[in-house]
Each structure stands twice: as C-alpha cells, then as structure tokens.
Structure 1
Amino acid sequence: MSQPNYTPNLINKSHILLAAISTLAAVTSLSLAWDSIAETEELNIQKLARQNIALSERVSALSTSNDRLKDTVNSLKIKIDFLQKTPATLLKDVDSLEEKVRLIWNSSQQNFELINRVDEKHSRQ
C-alpha cells in the first residue's frame, strides 16, 4: 500500500483547523468555567445577603433586649435609691413623731399641773 500523498498545504490547513477546534474548545471551556464561577458568586452573594438579613435581625433583637435591660437597670437604680433614702426618711419621721409626742406629753403634764392647782385652789376654798 502506498502512503497517501499529503501536500504541505493540506497539512498546514489540518493543523490550523485542529488549532481552531482546540481554541474553540478552550474558549468554550473557559466560558463554562466563567459561567460556573459567576453562578457560584451569585449564590454566594445571595447567601451573604440572607446572612446579612439574619444578622440585622439579631442585632435588632439584641438592641431591643439591651434597651429592656437598660430599663430594668434604671428601674432597679430607682428602687435602690428609694430603699436607701427610705431609712433616712423614716428616721426623720420618727424624730418628728418623737418631738410631737414630747410636745403632747409636756402639754399634758402642764394640763395636769394646772388641773392640780385648780383642784388645790378649790379644795382650800
């Protein structure tokens, strides 16, 4: 059998055609890779957006919880201030009552003395 007679022109055209097909395959492969990367990036962006929303909701919940805690702390401070002031106020009230009792006692004593004097005076007459 004799070998086919290829002309250099035909060999060059075959190489060029093979190179074009290889280039087309490479470009198609790169295009598919870019599409896959873009799709993956889009999915990552969507995932990050969902995570961002979830984090925002958590931050909002923590902020609300923090506000409630601040309100509770302020309420407790008010109660502590009241409890700290109450003994002092009660002592002042007790002191005031003691003074009033002393005045009433003194007044009663004076009244008894006056009644006794009047009785003595009447008994002498």
Structure 2
Amino acid sequence: MPASPAQVVTAFLQAFMSGDIDRARHMVSEDFWFQAPLHDGRGSKSTYFAGAEAKTRFIRAFRILRQWAEGADVSTVYELDIHTPDGDATMAMSEWHTVHAGLVTSTYMVFDSSARAAQLLGHALGAHH
C-alpha cells in the first residue's frame, strides 16, 4: 500500500531535519517549488537544497506538534531546536506541502524570521561562508 501524503511529508521532514539531504532530495519531484520568508517569489528544487547540509547541521531536535491532511495537501506545525556557536534556541515553523505520486511537489513555509533561532542560524551560516 502506498504511503499517504502525510506519511510522505513526515518522512521528508524527518530526513531533511536530520541532515539526510540525499534521501530528502529523492523524496521531492523534479519540478518541486517552495515559497518561504526571506526568499522572493518561488524557489526551485536546486535553490531549496542549496546549502541544506550547512543549515541542518545546527538542528539538534525536530518535533512535529500537529499535522493536518486533506487530499494531497498536508499542513505541519513543528519546532526545531537550534544549537549554534552563539547559543541555543527553539523555533516554531509551519509548512504546507503538496504531494503527488508519492513525491513532495511544493511547500509553502511560514516562520518568524526575527525569532532568536532564525537570527542565530543566520549568523552561524553567515560566519561559515
């Protein structure tokens, strides 16, 4: 029996947040697109995964707080615990994914770009480039 859209999204998020970027990359369609704070317009699959290893190495924990699914659409609210050289923080995020044929085809990401965790992550990434 094929995985439900919610199962696909959960597996994708777990792979990405744990730093298994190759596995996560294979779970999205070639025409995958995303929209996120601090990014103008729609981004491509290559843009989404650019620097993913650098970002995910600061994630220490990932917790799904709530998930809703309706047809191909899955909405997930989760928390990330971030650990950087400058400190630790927790950040709440929400993503709305669409799944077709067992692959994630899009995500619309929502988070507070001024949250302490976002600032710490931004600084840590800027310091390592």
Normalized against structure 1, the TM-score is what? 0.16
The structure richer in helix per residue is: 1
Q: Tell which has more relative contact order, 1 or 2 (C-alpha 8 A, sep 6+).
A: 2
TM-score, normalization: structure 2?
0.16
